[in-house]
Structure 1
Amino acid sequence: MTDADQTTDADHPILRTRGVGFVRNGRTILDEIDFEVRAGEHWALIGANGVGKSTILSMLGAVVHPSRGTVDVLGKRLGRVDLRELRGLIGHVNPRHQVRSPLSVRDIVLTGVTGTTERMLRWEPTPEQSERAERLIDLLGMRELADATWPNLSQGERGRALIARALQPDPHLLLLDEPSTGLDIAAREHLLDRIDGLRMEHPDLASVLVTHHLEELPASTTHALLIRDGRIVAQGLADDVLTSELISATLDYPLTLTRTDGRWAVRTAR
């Protein structure tokens, strides 16, 4: 059996990178990135701005290829698989997603079926697809906003609509790129509560969330990967990795990290 034929089970992780490096314009962005994500695990990728977190997420989402090393996503190796097929199994939530038409929340969620930013001409969802969209709208707390249009949504409401869109194809993997960007505290907490809820609703779903603010980590985070200057500082169970010492080393600043009721807080060490 080839790598491209592997399926994801107990012996085959959802994600696996080996010796991954990425070079852009002669500059090394990532170097020797090795890690694995298994079903039901929820990883946080943490580091300062510009250290390569979003580049890792783009590779895991089959958007870019590594300059060296291997990336296996859902048992399929990048470079040996049709990327369009693979992307249909991955839910990628990008807060910078472009919606150019005044689509309703319902229509935005349904574009997750086709992987497009607009409703395709002469395309209609099946009854099953429509039913799933309605369930996801409920799950993300958007029932009263199902007919609201994109220009009239707040940043937090847009974020929840995009998560529902990403979940519409029933993916095995959910990638969240700084989902709390631009949110006020109330909107952030509402979004994080919904992320915790959907992880409980879908126990086999794996997820990877990129952030550089530890306060934005959901309580359901199980693992963490710390990145500095394009290299791994530490990785493993969240409680083992998210420590004052390791976070200080990752961000090159003396910090004290605490966890209360499952959520993390950080302050300057004194």
Structure 2
Amino acid sequence: MTANATGNVTGSEPDAVAVLDAVSVRRYTTGQVILDDITWTVRAGQHWALLGANGAGKTTILRLIGALMHPTTGTVDVLGHRLGRVDMRELRAHIGLVSSAQKVPLDLTAHAVVLTGHTGTVQPLWRMYDDAVRERAGELLAELEIKELAERAYGVCSGGQRARILVARALMADPSLLLLDEPFNALDLPSREDLIDALHRLAVTRPSLTTITVTHHLEELSPAIDNVLLLKEGRVLTSGPAEQVLTAEQMTRCFGRPIEVSRHGGRWLARSGRVTPHT
């Protein structure tokens, strides 16, 4: 696979949305290896989960695919463009990113927050939003079932409402790739379930949309998740169809303690396999 002068990848698989080939990332100041020889392909319409212990390298992979950083070695191709040979800002405009760490002005209304997704800015650029753009922002709020929040200040919305507002914001650019970095962080049970339902609906109603979700808990995976990559200490432990990867054996290897895995109604559950003594 090669790249031409414009950064477009030639000879790549036509349905490949993201391709990591022998990718490693090292911290320049300390030489610490964060990712080690990662090779992974994400195809159009797939819904991946990235799982692993803290420090396994999940967010670093998401930052690479999100065109927020370059690898130390290896190649990263996203949406047909190779990092290092393409304008990263231009590429990011075609990638949706949702993160619980995103900084959003608390005084903006939900509708205004979604509008900023059109320009990829933190603050609104009001002159850039014509009637069609404003209408689209309202439609996305309705699609995420939070239309009633349109004029509510982001700062007074609940954690679950904020998460769905950020998903709507990420969809403003009509991305073919949506990256979700721990979107369930600090959500209570009802809010978590609302967000899972919303992501499942998106997968059903937008068959061409590809998603990659970083999470710590199997319970946070929607039934739409069809593939899983397990990371351990910066390396791929295993990857593939969810039902083949999310097993007690693989999860135990990944997290270094006995783990039992079950599935009910398309949803996954993991719990410690250790026997708890009765008191």
Q: State TM-score, norm by structure 2.
A: 0.93
Q: What is the root-mean-square deviation in Å for CA atoms of aligned residues?
A: 1.6
Secondary structure in 1 matching 2:271? strand
Q: Is 1:47 aligned to 2:52, yes or no?
A: yes
Q: Indicate the residue corresponding to 2:23 in structure 1.
A: 20
The answer to whether residue 104 in structure 2 is matched with residue 66 in structure 1 is: no
* Contact 2:3 2:10 survives alignment (8 Å): no
Indicate the residue corresponding to 2:35 in structure 1. Answer: 30
Query: Within 2, Cα distance between the matches of 1:124 and 1:85?
Result: 17
Give the match for residue 256 of structure 1: 260
* Residues 1-270 of structure 1: pairs in structure 2 closer than 5 A: 2=3, 4-6=7-9, 11-24=14-27, 25-120=30-125, 122-269=126-273, 270=275
The 1:7/1:189 distance shift into structure 2, 3 A limit, reads: farther
How far off its partner does 1:79 sit? 0.1
TM-score normalised per structure 1 = 0.96
SS at match of 1:196: helix
In structure 2, relative to structure 1, the CA distance for the partners of 1:76 and 1:131 (3 Å cut) is same
Where 2:228 maps in the other structure, the secondary structure is strand
Q: Structure 2: how far apart are the matches of 1:163 and 1:173?
A: 12
How much does 1:127 deviate?
2.7
| Mapped contact 1:8–1:14 kept (Cα < 8 A) | no
Shift of 1:245: 0.5
- Which residue type is aligned with residue 113 of structure 2? I
CA distance 1:206–1:161, shift in 2 (3 Å): same
Aligned mates of 2:20, 2:12 — CA distance in 1: 17
Residues 239 and 8 of structure 1: CA distance in aligned 2, closer, same or farther (over 3 Å): farther
The answer to whether the 8 A contact 1:8-1:75 is kept is no
Q: For the residues of structure 1 that align with 2:44 and 2:141, how far apart are their CA atoms? A: 24
AA paired with 1:219?
P
Q: Which moved more, 1:190-199 or 1:131-140?
A: 131-140
Matched length: 269
Contact 2:115 2:172 in 1 (8 A): yes
Give the superposition deviation at 1:2: 3.0
Q: Percent identity?
A: 43
Q: Distance in 2 between matches of 1:142 and 1:223?
A: 29
How far is the alpha carbon of 1:145 from its aligned partner?
0.7
CA-to-aligned-CA distance 1:115-161 (integer Å, 9 cap, x gap): 011112x5241232222211110011111111100111111111000
Give the partner amino acid of 2:23.
Answer: V
Contact map agreement 2:119 2:128 (CA 8 A) in 1:
no
Unmatched 5+ stretches in structure 2? none
Residues 12 and 75 in structure 1, CA contact (< 8 A), matched pair in contact too: no
Aligned equivalents of 1:8 and 1:198: distance in 2?
Answer: 31
Q: Give the Å deviation of 1:9.
A: 9.0
1:17 aligned partner, one-letter code: L
The CA distance in 2 between the partners of 1:128 and 1:189, in whole Å, is 31
Kindly indicate whether the alpha-carbon contact (under 8 Å) linking 1:8 and 1:74 is maintained by their aligned counterparts in 2: no
Which whole-Å deviations, capped at 9, do the CAs of 1:224-257 have from their partners, x for residues lacking one? Answer: 0000000001001111111110011001111110
Q: Distance in 1 between matches of 2:270 and 2:89?
A: 40
Question: Aligned partners of 1:136, 1:192: CA distance in 2, in Å?
Answer: 16
